[in-house]
Chains A and B, each alone.
Chain A
């Protein structure tokens, strides 16, 4: 375990790892996204109650799921950065925040578009939706803080503290549909027990969730590689890597 952390904290090792992973992920994610979209948009049957508007689920749910999971990853990176002062964890945190923010934004916008034909309103101050909006602000807050200091160590510390404090919001988002009587429907997929969704809709949804996880990893690695190229510009390992 420690040797892995140690290895991942080394910029040259991580740079090579990112290059390899990006080359693998890019085609896989692309194919999975295209297949998932065609499946969800054209092949899956319409919902008996909502008709075709439910097809938004195939991007809405994956974006939301990965935005939430991504926050945990960012908070973990924050913890590693604050406890062990690992610079790579700080780089990861800065790469994770904008990608998480973009996915949270996708979840909110697609949810809003789905809400109009289903609930009759673009926006409601429902518990689930409001806590998702707070998640967006947390991500944006980390992005802003990372740029707000001249001192890099101070910026990393501030980001780490904010991301750790913000984890309180994640269980609230998960549980909001059970705790409050809300417009937003409860989860259709369950880890234990039978899912409340037919197989013809479940499989494309699962494929899209996997594709979004891959997309998330791809975007984060791309950003981390770019940051390594900027910060390690003058180092000999990077120069020999590129020549």
Chain B
């Protein structure tokens, strides 16, 4: 490790704010790039599975001729 103390890491001889700002912004953008399609994919998978279950339930119900009269 180049730095001796954690406060030296934070300060970086005056360049700390620049370096840490650049890294934080990049980290946020990367996090968003990965997490947003991940969450969207999970939601879609859940929706499709739910649809499929409902469809299966409806087809068994109608197959057994127990569909309620309306």
A interface residues with partner B (beta carbon < 8 Å): 33, 37, 41-46, 51-53, 55-56, 59-60, 63, 99, 102, 105-106, 109-110, 113-114, 116-117, 215, 218-219, 222-223, 225-226, 229-230, 233, 238-239, 242-243
> Does A44 lie within 8 Å of B2, measured CB to CB?
yes
Indicate which residue in A43, A55, A60, A226 contacts B12 across the interface (CB closer than 8 Å).
A55
Residues of A within 8 A of B3 (CB): 42
Residues of A within 8 A of B45 (CB): 229, 242
CA distance A233 to B55 in the complex (A): 14
Residues of A within 8 A of B30 (CB): 33, 215
Number of interface residues, chain B, beta carbon within 8 A? 30
Q: Which residue of B lies closest to A230 (CB)?
A: B44
Please give the distance in Å from B11's CB to the nearest CB on chain A: 9
CA distance A169 to B47 in the complex (A): 42
The 7 closest A-B pairs by CB, nearest first: A52-B12, A222-B37, A229-B44, A52-B15, A53-B15, A110-B22, A113-B22
A-B contact count, CB below 8 Å? 99
> Does A117 lie within 8 Å of B18, measured CB to CB?
yes
Please give the distance in Å from A241's CB to the nearest CB on chain B: 9
B59 within 8 A of A: no
Q: Quick one: given A37-B23, A113-B18, are A229 and B38 in contact (CB under 8 Å)? A: no
Q: Which residue of B lies closest to A219 (CB)?
A: B33
Most chain B CB inside 10 Å of its own CB: which residue of A53, A60, A63: A53
Q: Quick one: given A116-B18, A222-B41, are A109 and B25 in contact (CB under 8 Å)? A: yes
Indicate which residue in A43, A105, A225, A226 contacts B2 across the interface (CB closer than 8 Å).
A43
> Does A59 lie within 8 Å of B33, measured CB to CB?
no
